Structure 1
Amino acid sequence: MFNLSYKAQRYLILFGFLTIPVVLSLMFSYYPAFSLLYYSFTDWTGLGWEMHWVGFANYKEVFTRPEIFSVFEHNAYYFVGGLIQTAVALFFAVILTGKLKGRNVFRAMLFLPYVLHSVAIVIMFKNVYHSEYGSLNLFLQSIGLGSWQQEWLGNPHLVNVSLAFISVWKFFGLSMVIFIGALQSIPADLYEAAKIDGASGWQAFRFITVPSIRSVIEMMMILTLTGALEAFDIPYIMMLGANGTDTFVSKTVDMAFKFQQAGLASAMAVVLLLIVMFFIFIQRKLLFRGGE
């Protein structure tokens, strides 16, 4: 190699560094994706390699079986929770970006839930939501609100709200840290000039803060949407889809591994990908077209 010219060495090094990530991407991203697409047109059971081509039969079944698409109603709880989470995270980010004593301690405390594993969080909240010895019902009783006690995981009208709250609690810290990073990039001179001109705190937030972090807000909205559509770990670990808590992803997993219909599950995964891409396109073109 040392006998090669500098230009040849440079191209060889660049080729070597580019080849490895491209090969890994082809092996672990594109090949599984194209395999998933192929399986969606077959009746593969997920066991062995015996499969038959069925064309669009799996996709027809996805769109004609009401119990498959009806679970998106459960995903809606996570989307609404994500919107609330984003708004509250921005509020706390504004507060913790200011001159608040001990702000780093508050940042660490609010970010800590995101570091915890989903299984540990489920165990924690099972003790919170338990109907007999759960800390939430005990707290309500201790402050004289015993009539508000509920079977938080047994009531079909409250169970998805309870699970969505867990998701909000877990990912709140991440949203807050992202907003803090965006807020710290705004020049302080803008706020000083606005203060001199007599602008209120709300006016400074509306006309300086929001336009300055518009792209970050857009990203958080996309993450909220995709996170809601792909909700899986917390509801599946907590309830295993019982009591009307199954989401589209958990339905897909059950279809593949419980009912051994990997072909149909692959079609559901492709449909979910198309739905996510469609909503992201609509969001970027309609909601945020003014920023382009």
Structure 2
Amino acid sequence: MLTTPRRAVKIAIAAAMTAVAVSVPQAAQAADNPYERGPDPTVQSIEAVRGPFSVSETNVSRLVVTGFGGGTIYYPRDTSQGTFGAVAIAPGFTASEGSMAWYGPRIASQGFVVFTIDTLTRLDQPDSRGRQLLAALDYLTQRSSVRSRIDSSRLAVMGHSMGGGGSLEASESRPSLKASIPLTPWNLKKNWRNNRVPTLIVGAENDSIASVRTHAEPFYESIPSTTNKAYLELNNATHFAPNISNTTIAKYSISWLKRFVDNDTRYEQFLCPPPRPDRDIEEYRDTCPH
């Protein structure tokens, strides 16, 4: 059938209107989450030692802060994409911030401001470490030199051992937190039924200090099923696994922070369906779908 010029114009207009109808929802979908940072993730990108953002760092002396022992702030240099979510990270019993230093550039390079902190004393208990994590977040968002880079409504906590127990304490004390990641956590308190913060607990199969049977597992089970939560047990790992650069910890921590601090559903694929046990993962429990 021949197409007249008049008919061709109508066809072109109809095609243009169809294209607009298709593109508007896609644009609206992209605009639904203003917190997405960085390119679409892949397994390779979340396992990489460094993400897409270049990182700078600044030291914070314990002499200029109150409520915690100072530390190091790692932050993306890029200011073109808006503000970033932030996470404070506490060390374990008798340990310094240096034991958690590897998390700084690794997580910051994925699009977060990261504050690895020292505690007031190396003997501080989990409840104290929890308060110190919150004090560090307050300093980070209110007084630090990078406060203008941070969205103060999107904050998280992490910690190792007693620092991990502290991250659970902080989560109950401040339910507005967007995420919590206790790493081989230790705490005499076993019931966290008041925790409403999305929590990823990392345990270690061969942990003889904070056994998963008496710490990580009951912590996880006590958190309400209505709270987004996951339990990752590292295969053949010890209590100190979080102190050494670990790809499994990094990839799931990054995915958890992206999913809940940034509300970035592009990272849901790495969490749900849950990973299966393999040479790195002994067990994984979850509340999928999120």
TM over 0.5: no
Q: Which has the larger radius of gyration?
A: 1
Question: Where is the helix percentage greater, Structure 1 or Structure 2?
Answer: 1
Greater RCO (Cα-Cα under 8 Å, separation 6 or more): 1
Question: Where is the strand percentage greater, Structure 1 or Structure 2?
Answer: 2
TM bucket normalised to smaller: under 0.3
TM-score (norm 1): 0.27
